Chains A and B, each alone.
Chain A
Amino acid sequence: MQTVHPCIILGSYALDADRLPEDEFKIRLDQAREGMEQAGLDALLVYGDARDHGALAYLTNFIPRMRWALALLPLRGEPRLLCSVSSRDVPAMKTMTWIEDVYSGWEWKWFGDWVGRVRGDGASRFGAVGFDLMPAGLLGDIRRDLGETAEIVEAGHVLGRSLETRRPRELMLIRSAAQIVNECAAIFVRGQRDGKPFETAALEAEGHARRQAAQDVRTLVSFDGGRNLEPFRGEFDATGTSATCYIAIKYMGFWTDAFISVGADQTKAIPVSAALRSLIDETKPGVRFDALHSLAAGHLGSLELHPVIQGSFGHAIGLSPSVGPGIRAGETAEITAGAIYSLQVGTRDLDGGCLASALVLARPDGAEVLALSVPQ
């Protein structure tokens, strides 16, 4: 779900070595290096920016708060991290990653220095992850410094399913995140029932998450009974008998989200709830996305799909707000055991809309519901 991106990501991002010890990252890097070896790569260059940094965060724990970062991971030897910050800010960046070799990306010599070292060791084939997001200027600098004889190949595949399926320590963090999003949904519902303005209720929900050390909180609110969702307006006087809100929370790197509808009319709420229930019931490893889509769409019948879900009844969620393809018509991807999915259903007409969601873990025997928001 896309929301307005803030100018800087607030919240506490320092590496918590108790909950994510360095050996967790060693396991992840070893897996990546296996993939690199199989793909014949000498090094991996992993790019991420403030908006999208799933692979970068997975391998380094580093999340760019405002600009970009580039992890330089040789097949053998120590990794280096370049952050787009002033050298004044590098010590603070070091608290966010297990990598010790951290430099300002504004001093490009640190890239050239690393290239000289690995090229001297014979490296010639570089895997690129996240490069589609990279502005052309930076890409040009990288190509220039690697030299004409170096090969850069797309290498997102070397991480395999690791960005989708969750390891035990990750699951623990996601359960904490899911608890926060459940609490936030309850706060929004209570605020609406107490007659509070939409944005007041949403801000109270956001405040709860931020006080629990959420690293990022995004909200969208409806001012027209759920027909449209909008970014923050700062209009704290709008109220109504029905309310809809979207809230997304990042906690310890992991995203969770929820659509919350209160007071929607039953002609929408009943089929939306039924569609969501069917999705939860059928989210099992091996089930194809198009089959799930067909099932949920059947419950909605001729009702219009809410445009904010963009034709998809959900997707995997993790270090990025959306991981992999959506649960949409014609999509042949399958539910993967160990992955977390944000299931989303919604409809609207000229009078308003209704949305619902669930956060589920795909277990071998079916879906475990971690967070649930059905129409109230």
Chain B
Amino acid sequence: MSDTVRARLDSTTAYLKENGLSGLVAASNAQNSFLESNAVFVLAGVRPIAESLVMIGKSGESVLIISPAWDVERASALARTDRVVGTDDLPSTAGAVAAQLSISSATAFGVGLTQLGHRLAGAIETAIGGPIKAEDNFVRDLARIRSAEEIALAREATRIAEAGYRALLETARPGMREFELAAEIYLKMKAMGSEDNFLLMSASQHNRAVRAASQRVLAEGDVILAEITPCLKGQFVQICRTAVLGEPSAEVAGSFQLLQKAMDAGLAAASAGSTVAGLTNSMNRVFVDAGYGDYCRPPFMRVRGHGLGITSNRPGDIDSKNEIVLEEGMVFVMHPNQYIPKVGYLMCGDPVAVTQRGAVSLATEPMQLDRIGV
């Protein structure tokens, strides 16, 4: 990821010069959301353990301030910033580095400080000289187009996700508890190199939504929902899948076809230059035409997909109010997951990349309603 990170550091320096700014103070709260940018990872290439900063002066000099201090050797080996400083006192170190880089709070801007605890954020701003203007979209926009390296990682992460789902199909059986099944899926993907995973997996004879695994015992006839979201070297991807423990009813099978149709409609509509709202409406139209228009809103669904952290969550939530224009190189998950009154919540979705040829699924295996023999 060295070239990608370095290019983003250079773009940031250019932005500072163009806008007459003294510097950038980018923060990570160390909570790695699959829905959000981690500014420190984007600008340093390091996923921090605790709250950390990247500071960039107008000269272009960049410093990663990593906490806890004992993590400095790892961070130094990974970071693409010019310097790395370890600290257990983030505010005072930030103040010292700001002075070295001639960063003034009045002419700097901040990313991610709003996500820190207010006490720590306030102490950092005080140490630097005062409140810093927040431009939290800066890193989201900076990293919105995935590099070739990142897309390759996203493809590999998708392969891991599919292996996780295969583990579900091979392992699930009546009498097993949900958390036991979730553990096997998670461990399979970690053994393939996935460092993190937003994994929801639950089952019911009539699901209201997908949720985290519980102590519930699997039974024949259960519809198993899986939202499998491995992260590989900072690239989250997500697949959404549905499997039935036993023979699916005709109603479940028919309803699932509706989701597949919506997915196809979304893929057809998602090209560079089209809006997120447009592609959302294309997917929603399938459900509206089938008589489920009243169900295209929470609590019957949430969104039709979303961006993927921890580099950039662009293009954001796939919903009908989002007018962001899709660009070549964006990666996001498209998932027309839907509650259908007669059969419950069903899931179907893949990570997609926007290419010259339109939106392309990164998955290699078919997205179908699977049957698990009992």
Query: Considering only CB atoms, which chain A residue lies closest to B192 in the complex?
Result: A234
Instruction: Out of B68, B117, B120, name the residue touching A310 (CB < 8 Å).
Output: B68
Shortest distance between the CB of A9 and any CB in chain B (Å): 8
Chain B 61-90 interface residues, beta-carbon cutoff 8 Å to A? 68-70, 73-74, 88
Shortest distance between the CB of B110 and any CB in chain A (Å): 12
Query: Considering only CB atoms, which chain A residue lies closest to B300 in the complex?
Result: A88
B47 adjacent to chain A (CB < 8 Å)? yes
B199 adjacent to chain A (CB < 8 Å)? yes
Stretch of B1-9, B209-217, B253-261, B352-360 lying at the A interface: B209-217
* Chain A interface bracket (under 10, 10 to 19, 20 to 34, 35 or more): 35 or more
A231 and B214 form a contact (CB under 8 A): no
Shortest distance between the CB of A156 and any CB in chain B (Å): 13
B33 and A7 form a contact (CB under 8 A): yes
Chain B residues whose C-beta falls within 8 Å of the C-beta of A229 in the assembled complex: 70
A50 adjacent to chain B (CB < 8 Å)? yes
Chain B 188-214 interface residues, beta-carbon cutoff 8 Å to A? 190-200, 208-209, 211-214
Shortest distance between the CB of B189 and any CB in chain A (Å): 10
Instruction: Out of A6, A13, A90, A233, name the residue touching B196 (CB < 8 Å).
Output: A6
Chain B residues whose C-beta falls within 8 Å of the C-beta of A234 in the assembled complex: 190, 192-195
Contact with B along A2-40 (1 / 0, CB 8 A): 111111101111101000000000000000000000000
B31 and A49 form a contact (CB under 8 A): yes
Chain A residues whose C-beta falls within 8 Å of the C-beta of B183 in the assembled complex: 10, 207, 210-211
Given known contacts A7-B236, A10-B213, A14-B215, is B187 in contact with A210 (CB within 8 Å)? Answer: yes
Chain A residues whose C-beta falls within 8 Å of the C-beta of B194 in the assembled complex: 234
Given known contacts A7-B197, A88-B301, A210-B187, is B212 in contact with A13 (CB within 8 Å)? Answer: yes
Contact with A along B87-131 (1 / 0, CB 8 A): 010000000000000000000000000111111111000000000
Shortest distance between the CB of A170 and any CB in chain B (Å): 19
B302 adjacent to chain A (CB < 8 Å)? yes
Instruction: Out of A66, A91, A132, A210, name the residue touching B119 (CB < 8 Å).
Output: A132
A137 and B32 form a contact (CB under 8 A): no
Query: Considering only CB atoms, which chain A residue lies closest to B309 in the complex?
Result: A7
A350 adjacent to chain B (CB < 8 Å)? no
B276 adjacent to chain A (CB < 8 Å)? no
Instruction: Out of B30, B182, B299, name the residue touching A90 (CB < 8 Å).
Output: B299
B178 adjacent to chain A (CB < 8 Å)? yes
Cross-chain pair count, CB within 8 angstroms: 149
Chain B 340-355 interface residues, beta-carbon cutoff 8 Å to A? none
A4 and B32 form a contact (CB under 8 A): yes
Bound together, the chains give a CA A8 to CA B298 distance in angstroms of 21
B49 adjacent to chain A (CB < 8 Å)? yes
B299 and A228 form a contact (CB under 8 A): no
A236 adjacent to chain B (CB < 8 Å)? yes
Shortest distance between the CB of A325 and any CB in chain B (Å): 15
B187 and A7 form a contact (CB under 8 A): no
Query: Considering only CB atoms, which chain B residue lies closest to A139 in the complex?
Result: B118
Chain B residues whose C-beta falls within 8 Å of the C-beta of A136 in the assembled complex: 114, 118, 121-122
Instruction: Out of B30, B70, B179, B198, name the residue touching A308 (CB < 8 Å).
Output: B70
Given known contacts A2-B49, A88-B209, A92-B211, is B186 in contact with A10 (CB within 8 Å)? Answer: yes
Chain A residues whose C-beta falls within 8 Å of the C-beta of B31 in the assembled complex: 5, 7, 49-51
Shortest distance between the CB of B310 and any CB in chain A (Å): 8
Instruction: Out of A7, A90, A91, A233, name the residue touching B198 (CB < 8 Å).
Output: A7
Bound together, the chains give a CA A66 to CA B300 distance in angstroms of 21
B223 adjacent to chain A (CB < 8 Å)? no
B196 and A135 form a contact (CB under 8 A): no
Bound together, the chains give a CA A310 to CA B243 distance in angstroms of 48
Shortest distance between the CB of B284 and any CB in chain A (Å): 16
B211 and A89 form a contact (CB under 8 A): yes
Bound together, the chains give a CA A280 to CA B119 distance in angstroms of 36
Given known contacts A4-B32, A12-B215, A88-B299, is B187 in contact with A207 (CB within 8 Å)? Answer: yes
Chain A residues whose C-beta falls within 8 Å of the C-beta of B49 in the assembled complex: 2-5, 231
A11 and B213 form a contact (CB under 8 A): yes
Chain A residues whose C-beta falls within 8 Å of the C-beta of B32 in the assembled complex: 4-7
A203 and B302 form a contact (CB under 8 A): no
A133 adjacent to chain B (CB < 8 Å)? yes
Given known contacts A7-B196, A10-B186, is B115 in contact with A95 (CB within 8 Å)? Answer: no
Bound together, the chains give a CA A7 to CA B190 distance in angstroms of 14
Chain A residues whose C-beta falls within 8 Å of the C-beta of B231 in the assembled complex: 7
Contact with B along A357-369 (1 / 0, CB 8 A): 0000000000000
Given known contacts A49-B31, A86-B298, A133-B117, is B195 in contact with A8 (CB within 8 Å)? Answer: no
Contact with B along A70-112 (1 / 0, CB 8 A): 0000000000000000111111100100000000000000000
Bound together, the chains give a CA A136 to CA B131 distance in angstroms of 12
B180 adjacent to chain A (CB < 8 Å)? yes
A171 adjacent to chain B (CB < 8 Å)? no
**Most A CB within 10 A of own CB, among B180, B211, B213:** B211
B167 adjacent to chain A (CB < 8 Å)? no
B236 and A4 form a contact (CB under 8 A): no
B142 adjacent to chain A (CB < 8 Å)? no
**Most B CB within 10 A of own CB, among A10, A49, A95, A232:** A10
A134 and B118 form a contact (CB under 8 A): yes
Chain B residues whose C-beta falls within 8 Å of the C-beta of A12 in the assembled complex: 177-179, 212-215
Bound together, the chains give a CA A89 to CA B212 distance in angstroms of 10
Given known contacts A5-B30, A95-B214, is B179 in contact with A11 (CB within 8 Å)? Answer: yes
Query: Considering only CB atoms, which chain B residue lies closest to A16 in the complex?
Result: B215
A7 and B299 form a contact (CB under 8 A): no
Bound together, the chains give a CA A139 to CA B179 distance in angstroms of 35
Query: Considering only CB atoms, which chain B residue lies closest to A309 in the complex?
Result: B70
Chain B residues whose C-beta falls within 8 Å of the C-beta of A4 in the assembled complex: 30, 32, 47, 49, 195-196
Q: Lowest 7 CB-CB distances: which A-B pairs, in order?
A: A234-B193, A92-B211, A307-B70, A210-B183, A136-B118, A88-B299, A132-B119
Point out residues on A near B: beta carbons under 8 Å: 2-8, 10-14, 16, 49-51, 65-66, 86-92, 95, 131-137, 139, 203, 206-207, 210-211, 213, 228-234, 236, 307-308, 310
28 contacts between A and B (CB under 8 A): A2-B50, A6-B197, A7-B33, A8-B200, A10-B182, A10-B186, A11-B213, A12-B177, A12-B215, A50-B31, A51-B31, A88-B208, A88-B301, A91-B299, A92-B209, A132-B119, A134-B118, A135-B114, A135-B117, A136-B114, A136-B118, A206-B190, A213-B215, A231-B74, A232-B190, A234-B192, A234-B193, A310-B88
Given contacts A65-B212, A66-B33, A132-B120, 20 further A-B contacts (CB under 8 A): A2-B68, A4-B32, A5-B32, A7-B33, A8-B34, A8-B200, A10-B182, A10-B197, A12-B178, A16-B215, A51-B30, A87-B298, A87-B299, A89-B209, A135-B114, A210-B179, A211-B180, A228-B70, A231-B47, A234-B192
